[in-house]
Amino acid sequence: METALECIQPTADPRRATEGPRRVPTRSENVYPAAMERDGHTTIEDRLRRTRQRYTAGRRQLAEVLAGAGRPLAIPELRAAGVDQSQSSVYRNLAILEQCGVVRRLASSDDTARFELAEDLTGHHHHLVCSDCGTIEDIALSPAVESALAAAVDEARSRHDFSADAHRFELVGSCADCA
- Summarised one tens digit per residue, pLDDT across range 26-54 is 433 443 344 455 588 999 999 999 999 99
pLDDT, averaged across the chain? 81
Quote the crossing angle between the two packed helices 38-50 and 57-69, to the nearest 10°.
130
- Res. 164 pLDDT band, cuts 50 70 90: confident
- From CA 92, how far away is CA 97, in angstroms rounded? 9
Is the predicted pLDDT of residue 173 greater than 90, yes or no? yes
For 72-124, what is each residue's pLDDT tens digit? 999 999 999 999 999 999 999 999 999 999 999 998 878 899 999 999 898 88
Residue 178 has pLDDT above 80, yes or no: yes
Query: Residue 16: its pLDDT value, please?
Result: 35
pTM of the model: 0.74
Q: Which of 35-44, 90-99, 146-155, 157-166 has the lowest mean pLDDT?
A: 35-44
Greatest mean pLDDT among 2-6, 91-95, 148-152 lies in 91-95
Percent of the chain whose predicted confidence (pLDDT) is above 70: 79
Distance CA 17, CA 51 (A): 44
Q: What is the pLDDT of residues 12-29, one digit of tens each?
A: 333 333 344 444 444 334
Distance (Å, whole) CA 24 – CA 82: 11
CATH match of 8-173 with 1.10.10.10: yes
Looking at residue 38, what is its pLDDT?
Answer: 57
Q: Distances in Å between the alpha carbon of 104 and those of 10, 95, 174?
A: 23, 10, 23
Q: Are strands 126-130 and 170-173 parallel, antiparallel or unpaired?
A: parallel
| Cα–Cα distance for residue pair 94/103, rounded to 1 Å | 7
